[in-house]
């Protein structure tokens, strides 16, 4: 596979400066750039639309903002870093005292060089975010504070790609596009998913239909589900929430509510070979859109594979989560893991050997072919595959039992099927 590391990183760099939020032009600009790689359909859901227990909020856009000290010296500017203004800040243009200003300043004392990422979507306020060092260096004032923002009835925007397959059963892939300039959380997610979509779109045949969405986190997944959950519940056989997939440090897995879906099975299997020391988190440590997709009554078979998971790395939700934190190799590794999961799912059937007793491989030209590769292991893998191809084990089960990754088993299954000694059971097992 082409690991697209460079492409994904370059895309992250291009998207990085855009100020995204849960609504607004930053989301639209981001979707339009993603759509250059694989065309996507955008949807606009009007402010005020009821979505389950929530309501689509007003749309927020921001043009700029700053703080100037008593000498008109600019000490903070939205143009320098778009984390500097609290997301969904209402507009302000005032002269304020030092005390008044401090009530609207957010900083992170434990990380004195980091600008924290702060939002206030559902309570009207305004605020500025700065490093603890900047806060400590504030003069006596007064200060001129300006936020040139707008909250108005508009829409919540999201993007969707449907790649149809031979079956109407679906694989559901979701990521969010609502964070301003931060890299691992969250630009890595959309950058990976759009290239995953590109690779899927280039497959000569797809068993499954792929439903791929780029949405604002929480309110976006709730909005999407409220419109589509009946269809999703009926058709989705496995899904992944793709987030925090850009750094190099580790691999993580976040389970579905009970950790027992086909997606969980694929994720755990692939990670056990690709990154055996991966960090496993239960649904109790959820934090992203798996909260909605696995909620009671929705119960989609969906889990998440991350590199350093949200909330678990020091730069999380600060200005330190910048383009130096993610890498081509980090993104490429995560793409490879997701690709292996999807290709495993594409080939996931229960398999059954067609003869009684061990088949004679030599008679079918299989033994010598493998001998020429000089590997007794290959033959052992093949006979082990056959030994567990009793019609009850799917590809992931067999992989787990015989300790061979699914991407190798896919090749072996093809050889054995071509040799007429292995068949797929008619129904794919989905759990």
Binding segment toward Zn ion, per CB under 5 A, in 143-151, 180-188, 334-342, 402-410: 180-188
Q: 350-353 and 422-424 as β-strands: parallel, antiparallel, unpaired? A: antiparallel
Binding segment toward Zn ion, per CB under 5 A, in 106-114, 182-190, 356-364, 410-418: 182-190
CB of 341 to Zn ion, least distance (A): 23
Q: For Zn ion, give the closer residue by CB, 175 or 381.
A: 175
Under 8 Å between Cβ of 115 and 129: yes
- With b for 16 or more beta-carbon neighbours within 10 A and e for fewer, the 12-26 pattern comes to beebeebbbbbbbbb
CB of 269 to Zn ion, least distance (A): 28
Q: For Zn ion, give the closer residue by CB, 108 or 185.
A: 185
The helix (run of H) or strand (run of E) holding residue 206 is: none
CB of 334 to Zn ion, least distance (A): 17
Q: For Zn ion, give the closer residue by CB, 252 or 381.
A: 252
Q: For Zn ion, give the closer residue by CB, 185 or 315.
A: 185
Q: For Zn ion, give the closer residue by CB, 87 or 344.
A: 87
Binding segment toward Zn ion, per CB under 5 A, in 107-115, 178-186, 269-277, 371-379: 178-186
Residues 83-102 that bind Zn ion (CB under 5 A): none
CB of 309 to Zn ion, least distance (A): 11
The label of the residue with tokens 């939205």 reads: 78
CB of 179 to Zn ion, least distance (A): 6
> Which residues, 6+ apart, have CB-to-CB distance to 173 below 8 Å?
193, 196, 197, 210, 211, 212, 213, 239, 240, 242
DSSP one-letter code for 187: I
CB of 90 to Zn ion, least distance (A): 22
Q: For Zn ion, give the closer residue by CB, 20 or 347.
A: 20
Q: For Zn ion, give the closer residue by CB, 119 or 354.
A: 119
Q: For Zn ion, give the closer residue by CB, 185 or 378.
A: 185
| 117 φ/ψ sector (left φ>0, alpha ψ -120 to 50, else beta) | beta
- Binding footprint of Zn ion, residue count (CB under 5 A): 1
Query: Would you count residue 185 as binding Zn ion (CB under 5 A)?
Result: yes
Rounded-to-integer distance, Cα 304 and Cα 173, Å:
10
The helix (run of H) or strand (run of E) holding residue 397 is: helix 395-402
Query: Would you count residue 315 as binding Zn ion (CB under 5 A)?
Result: no
Rounded-to-integer distance, Cα 220 and Cα 93, Å:
31
Structure-block tokens of residue 2: 């082409």
**CA dihedral (298, 299, 301, 303) positive or negative:** positive
Kindly write out the interface string for residues 134-173 of this chain, putting x where it contacts Zn ion by CB under 5 A and - elsewhere. Answer: ----------------------------------------
Rounded-to-integer distance, Cα 221 and Cα 232, Å:
12
DSSP one-letter code for 300: -
The helix (run of H) or strand (run of E) holding residue 108 is: none
CB of 52 to Zn ion, least distance (A): 21
- Chain residues that interact with Zn ion, rule: CB under 5 A: 185
């Amino acid at each position: 596979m082409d690991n697209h590391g460079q492409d994904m990183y370059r895309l992250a760099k291009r998207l990085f400066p855009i100020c995204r939020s849960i609504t607004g032009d930053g989301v639209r600009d981001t979707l339009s750039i993603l759509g250059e790689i694989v065309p996507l359909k955008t949807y606009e859901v009007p402010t005020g639309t009821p979505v389950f227990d929530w309501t689509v909020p007003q749309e927020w856009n921001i043009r700029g903002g700053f703080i100037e000290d008593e000498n008109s010296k600019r000490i903070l500017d939205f143009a320098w870093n778009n984390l500097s203004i609290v997301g969904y800040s209402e507009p302000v243009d005032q002269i304020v005292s030092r005390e008044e200003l401090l009530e609207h300043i957010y900083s992170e004392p434990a990380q004195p060089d980091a600008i924290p990422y702060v939002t206030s979507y559902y309570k009207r306020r305004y605020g500025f975010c700065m490093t603890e060092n900047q806060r400590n260096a504030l003069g006596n004032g007064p200060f001129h504070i300006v936020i040139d923002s707008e909250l108005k009835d508009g829409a919540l925007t999201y993007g969707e790609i449907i790649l149809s397959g031979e079956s109407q059963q679906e694989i559901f892939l979701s990521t969010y596009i609502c964070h301003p300039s931060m890299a691992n959380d969250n630009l890595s997610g959309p950058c990976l998913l759009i290239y995953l979509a590109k690779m899927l779109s280039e497959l000569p045949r797809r068993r499954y239909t792929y439903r791929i969405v780029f949405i604002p986190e929480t309110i976006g997944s709730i909005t999407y589900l409220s419109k589509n959950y009946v269809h999703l519940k009926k058709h989705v056989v496995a899904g992944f929430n793709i987030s925090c997939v850009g750094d190099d440090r580790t691999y993580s897995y976040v389970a579905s509510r009970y950790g027992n879906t086909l997606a969980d099975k694929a994720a755990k299997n692939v990670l056990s070979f690709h990154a055996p020391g991966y960090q496993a988190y239960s649904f109790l440590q959820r934090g992203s859109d798996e909260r909605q997709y696995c909620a009671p009554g929705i119960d989609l078979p969906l889990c998440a594979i991350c590199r350093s998971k949200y909330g678990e790395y020091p730069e999380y939700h600060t200005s330190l989560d910048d383009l130096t934190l993610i890498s081509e190799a980090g993104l490429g590794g995560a793409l490879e893991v997701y690709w292996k999961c999807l290709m495993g799912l594409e080939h996931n059937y229960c398999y059954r050997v067609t003869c009684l007793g061990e088949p004679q491989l030599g008679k079918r030209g299989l033994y010598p072919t493998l001998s020429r590769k000089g590997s007794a292991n290959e033959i052992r893998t093949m006979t082990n595959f056959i030994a567990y191809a009793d019609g009850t084990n799917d590809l992931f089960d067999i992989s787990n039992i015989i300790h061979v990754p699914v991407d190798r088993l896919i090749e072996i299954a093809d050889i054995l099927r071509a040799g007429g000694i292995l068949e797929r059971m008619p129904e794919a097992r989905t759990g």
